[in-house]
Amino acid sequence: MTDTILSVPTVAEATPGMRLARRFLGQKAFVIGAGILTVIIGLALLAPLIAPHDPYAQNLALRNIPPVWYAKGSWLHPLGTDQLGRDYLSRVLYGARISLLIGVSVVLISGIIGTTLGLMAGYFGGKIDLLVTFLVTTRLSMPVILVALAVVAMVGGSLWIVILVLGLLKWDRFAVVMRSATQQVRSLDYVAAAEAAGASTTRIILREVLPNIAPHLIVVATLEAASAILLEAALSFLGLGVQPPLPSWGLMISEAKAYMFFSFWLIAIPGTALALLIFAINLAGDGLRDVISPEGRV
């Protein structure tokens, strides 16, 4: 009887998918960050199904019930209730939806604006580069939080106003990084070869330049998503962001500040959730950058 020997692919024989999976699993920062982020996204998406109560339902008879690990806690409200008797677990779950929506929406708006300007400035140079540099300098002269406060105070606070204002204010980092990365890629041989082959400018930018600066774009996107979530929380804390009764984490902290010495969990729970989300986004983005960058392709 002949023995059947199963050959295991070596590093050289491994398929591209296996090598990519190995690089992902080899980045502990990405695995931890992506794992936490996946759990938060899953809880946010499933909030209507797993939330034990209506996050907007009020019952003053049940106000300020402590979490279940306290003696007076109850499994009916595992994370307790707020000052209006609303279930805190339900509000935290729905608050994750708002934070993720703001982070993704702001990154999309600011990313499209900043990446377009950065690509144009880096690829064409000349007067276009001077114009984009002037726009970036002008934008950097205006503090984001002060401009956002002024605009929201004049127009009025709401979820979509906050998203639009932050999206129109946070494109500068995309523009600066994409401009620098495009200038480096612009002088490489494969771009010159594409130009010599008669490829259109649009094709060169979209097929040759943009894919090679994607690692930089991903890193900036993760930083800006985390920054946008924090800015929304700050605006909501000041009463100029997401308005009641929406369960924004920043608004929940603001509403609980009067009870911080008596029911500190009202601040600790949404504050911990906010910090965990920012931590996960930054870890995942940094790990993903290391995986897809040329230095990480072994």
CA 30 centroid distance within chain:
14
What angle (nearest 5°) sits at the alpha carbon of residue 33, between those of residues 31 and 34? 65
User: pLDDT grade, residue 4 (50/70/90)?
Assistant: very low
| C-alpha to C-alpha distance for 63 and 258, rounded to whole angstroms | 14
DSSP 209: I
Q: pLDDT value at position 190?
A: 85
What digits encode the pLDDT tens for the residues 89-145? Answer: 999 999 999 999 999 999 999 999 999 999 999 999 889 999 999 999 999 998 888
Q: Which of 101-105, 167-171, 179-183, 254-258 has the lowest mean pLDDT?
A: 254-258
Q: pLDDT value at position 100?
A: 93
> What domains sit in the chain, N to C, each tagged with a CATH number?
101-293 (1.10.3720.10)
Cis peptide before 245 (omega within 30 of 0): yes
| 65 or 260, which is more confident | 65
Q: pLDDT value at position 17?
A: 65
Would the pLDDT of 5 be above 70?
A: no
| C-alpha to C-alpha distance for 266 and 272, rounded to whole angstroms | 11
Q: Which of 277, 274, 233 is nearest to 255 (CA)?
A: 233
List 177's β-bridge partners, or say none. none
DSSP 204: I
Cβ within 8 Å of residue 151, ≥6 positions away: 165
Q: Which of 23-27, 128-132, 189-193, 240-244 has the lowest mean pLDDT?
A: 23-27
**H helix or E strand, kind and range, residue 239:** none
The average confidence (pLDDT) of the chain is 86
Would the pLDDT of 11 be above 50?
A: no
User: pLDDT grade, residue 297 (50/70/90)?
Assistant: very low
End-to-end CA distance of the chain: 40
Q: What is the DSSP string of 109-137?
A: HHHHHHHHHHHHHHHH-HHHHHHHHHHHH
Q: pLDDT value at position 264?
A: 87
Q: pLDDT value at position 2?
A: 47
What digits encode the pLDDT tens for the residues 37-80? Answer: 999 999 999 999 999 999 999 988 888 889 998 888 889 999 99
Average pLDDT of the residues in 146-167: 87
Q: What percentage of the chain reaches a pLDDT higher than 70?
A: 91
